[in-house]
Chains A and B, each alone.
Chain A
Amino acid sequence: MPLIETVDLCQKYNGHDVLKKIALQVEPGEVLSLIGPTGAGKTTLLRLLDLLDTPTSGRIYFAGTEVTRSGKTRSETRRKMAFVLQKPVVFNASVYDNVAYGLKWRGITRNELYQRVSGILETVSLSALRDRNARTLSGGEIQRIAIARAIALEPELLLLDEPTANLDPISISRIEKLIANIIHQHKTTIIMTTHDMRQGQRLPNKVAVLINGEILQTGSSRDIFTSPHNQEIAEFVGTENIINGVITTSEEDLVTINTSGKIIEAIADYPVGEEVCACIRPEDITLANSQAPSSARNSYAGKIMQVVPIGPLCRIEIDCDFSLFALVTGRSVEELDLVRGKTIYATFKATAIHIIRRER
């Protein structure tokens, strides 16, 4: 039985559809990452799941019981969950009291309260600051308090809304470690949102893509990154090469696509004449100075238009009648002497191409 399930969940705001027929199932112990651009409706969905707001239509089940509207069940169910809101605010009280609030509301004895809070503060490395007013702490520390007071409740379901938004890289990695720890040790069911698709990939084991109020694809992070269902998802998950074309031949899972006069071969099954996009991840493209005889069927000569370093890597823009982005190491740039204006051969395997039907 799923721990939480939604059926046709819709939310309207001023006549505008924020969420459209959301159907979500999260099993106990599962970790789901909701990814999607800003404004896609991620926060709205989490607020509905935490029963803070009431949906316009649709139902929510928690451990098999419908909890959508009945006031009493709602507040009881809410106490089985904990929600770290996107903008973490701390109460104007000590760090200790901030973490203790939720436990106090649950009527926990003084002794147990002390032990639980102290333990949690230890976990999030905030013991030294326990008597400080929480308002005086840094953004990263405040986020840690927010997570601490949520996990102190030992919730069955933990909802995290953009837990690392607006934090510095060190704080981000600390928070991610903390979340990884929770997943590892407590086996808590978690639903978290992020607009940072890499975080979605780093942390959870299941990803749902929410764009424009609709869940467009659910699956393992690998599925979503390599085989996005449509162009929008592909763009969001960072598939930089999305090349439009038409299927010209199709036989036994091998298709050829005509794009700007060039032919691309790919492993897929689409009928001839279908308008498609070919998605190629930039790291799957290899560059060479000469046309190497290789098993790769797709090899194109092109002129280097731009070389942009990104951390240890370089992003190379090549014009081979269609625009192609490749991601190579800095070392390769030196060895191959990749400079602007130079002609180069770009090669990618037929299996590296993901074909999506183009929507009209």
Chain B
Amino acid sequence: MNEIWQGLLEAIKLIVSLDPEILEISGRSLWIALSSCLLASVICLPIGGLIHFQRFAGKRTLISLIQTFYSIPTVVIGLFVFVLLSRTGPLGGFNLLFTPTAMIIGQMLLVIPIVLGLTISALSGIDKVIPDTARSLGAGSFQTAVVVLKEARFAVTAAMIMAFSRAISEVGLALIVGGNIKGFTRVITTTISLETAKGDLELALALGIILMFIALVINLVLNQLQTR
């Protein structure tokens, strides 16, 4: 129990003193998680709209499949991206392994099912009359989709918060494709894992608390945005 108190104290100390290394690591965690979520959203919102608005055979199965991928282990995605980006892998030529870009790609793949699946549920929660109303007022297909997405913005924001939470808290993928390189690909979770291995449990716990703090701030910002 003592470690937890020590961790809390350490966290406060690190936050208050604006420790430059912690700031850098936290900033990177935030940036990588946000980028991957934004990219995932950019990809998933249109695709989610497409899946929702189109009628086709196997739609239910596809949605179940997407939802199954919610629970894919981060390590598995990590290994997949590793094999893909490794120098001898199919995308080895881009020289992306052990870079933040690789981590963004990995986390993006990790959260795509979440954003996609939750976007589809968000859209199906919207009154069926909304798209008809939009079309009757002269909206084209794209404008209609935008209107429906706007109507679903609360649920879509919730999807993004979920995705962000999963991205910023995962460690397996970040370790495998990022390599935990100091000053380059080291993020909060990989630091926690390293500090645990090194036996500095207080620092590890403190970093965990800082991560929660960042998540809190981001959730507040996103919630603020959606209520506007």
Q: Given A91-B151, A92-B150, A101-B147, is A85 in contact with B137 using a C-beta cutoff of 8 Å?
A: no
Are the CB atoms of B135 and A78 closer together than 8 Å? yes
Instruction: Kindly supply a per-residue 1/0 record for chain A positions 70-101, scoring 1 wherever the CB is within 8 Å of any chain B CB and 0 otherwise.
Output: 00000100110111110101011100000001
Q: Does B89 contact A (CB under 8 A)?
A: no
Q: How many residues of B contact A (CB 8 A)?
A: 17
- Judge whether A83 and B130 touch: CB under 8 Å: no
Bound Cα distance from A79 to B137, whole angstroms? 7
The secondary structure that dominates the A interface is mixed
Q: Give the residues from 106 to 133 in chain B that come closer than 8 angstroms, CB to CB, to chain A.
A: 127, 129-130, 132-133
With beta carbons under 8 angstroms apart, the residue of B132, B138, B147, B153 that contacts A85 is B132
Task: Give the residue name and chain of the A residue nearest to B147 (CB).
Answer: A91
Residues of B within 8 A of A105 (CB): 137-140, 143
B147 x A78 contact (CB < 8 A): no
A153, CB-defined interface residue at 8 Å = yes
Question: Which residues of chain A are near B127, meaning CB under 8 Å?
Answer: 89
**Interface residue? B66 (CB, 8 A):** no
Kindly state whether residue B9 has any CB partner on chain A within 8 Å.
no
- Chain B residues with CB below 8 A from A149, complex form: 137
Residues from chain B with a CB closer than 8 A to the CB of A78 are 135-136, 138
State whether the Cβ of A254 lies closer than 8 Å to any Cβ in chain B: no
A150 is an interface residue with CB less than 8 A from chain B? yes
Residues of B within 8 A of A (CB): 127, 129-130, 132-140, 143, 147, 150-151, 153
9 contacts between A and B (CB under 8 A): A52-B132, A52-B136, A82-B137, A84-B136, A85-B132, A85-B133, A91-B147, A91-B151, A92-B153
- Which residues of chain A have a CB within 8 Å of any CB of chain B? 47, 50, 52, 75, 78-79, 81-85, 87, 89, 91-93, 101-102, 105-106, 149-150, 153, 159
What 8 pairs across the A-B complex have the smallest Cβ distances? Answer: A102-B137, A83-B136, A79-B138, A89-B129, A105-B138, A105-B139, A102-B138, A105-B143
Given A79-B138, A89-B133, A102-B138, 9 other A-B residues pairs in contact with their CB atoms under 8 A? A50-B136, A75-B138, A78-B135, A81-B136, A89-B129, A91-B133, A105-B139, A106-B138, A159-B136
